Amino acid sequence: MPIIAKILGYLGLIPFLFYPLHMLLDLQWLTSMQAQIAFTQYSAVILSFFGGIHWYQAICEPKNSHQLYVAMLPSISAWLSMLIFDIKITLFVLSVSHLLILMYDKHYLRLPKQLVIAYTKMRLILTTIVIVCHFLMIWSV
């Protein structure tokens, strides 16, 4: 796996880590509501990014009939959760959605053999941290 991909993947955790720490430490840089909104929006964007991976693969190298449909689910679930639910439920739905797309990736994403172990390990670490951050946000709301 290219080192730049690893670096960018881990740098992508900064907003996930910043907002819960901001809330828990009561840093006063942002209001509580601003931190909640920013965290939720960032989570939705990242979730949509993972759907895009499947969209690309379903178009270029279709592996099954449902991948193109599943590629849309992260964006739709993120958008609907932000429209319909209160912040705690939205954060919970987003965290579950991150877990579900990781599980789907593990079973259906077809990567070159030299990437499978590195990508899967990195995604497991990143997603675990992301889910923990979601629950810290839920706890701090």
pLDDT tens digits along 58-67: 898 877 888 8
Rounded to an integer, the average pLDDT of 43-68 is 89
SS3 7: helix
At 111 the pLDDT is 83
pLDDT at 27: 79
Residues 87-109 pLDDT 10s: 999 999 999 999 999 999 888 88
In whole angstroms, give the CA distance from residue 9 to residue 14.
10
pTM for the structure as a whole:
0.90
pLDDT at 136 over 90: yes
* Per-residue pLDDT at 32 exceeds 90: no
Using only C-alpha atoms, what is the Rg of the chain? 16
pLDDT at 64: 80
Count of the separate structural domains present in the chain:
1
Question: Cα 85 vs. chain centroid, distance in angstroms?
Answer: 18
The amino acid that residue 42 corresponds to is Y
Domain with 9, as residue range(s), is: 3-140
* CB atoms near residue 9 (< 10 Å): 15
Helices (H) and strands (E) in the chain, counts: 6, 0
Of 42, 60, 59, 141, which is closest to residue 98 (Cα–Cα)? 42
Cα separation of 24 and 137, whole Å? 8
For residue 138, pLDDT over 90 is answered with: yes
Distance, CA of 102 to CA of 121 (rounded, Å): 11
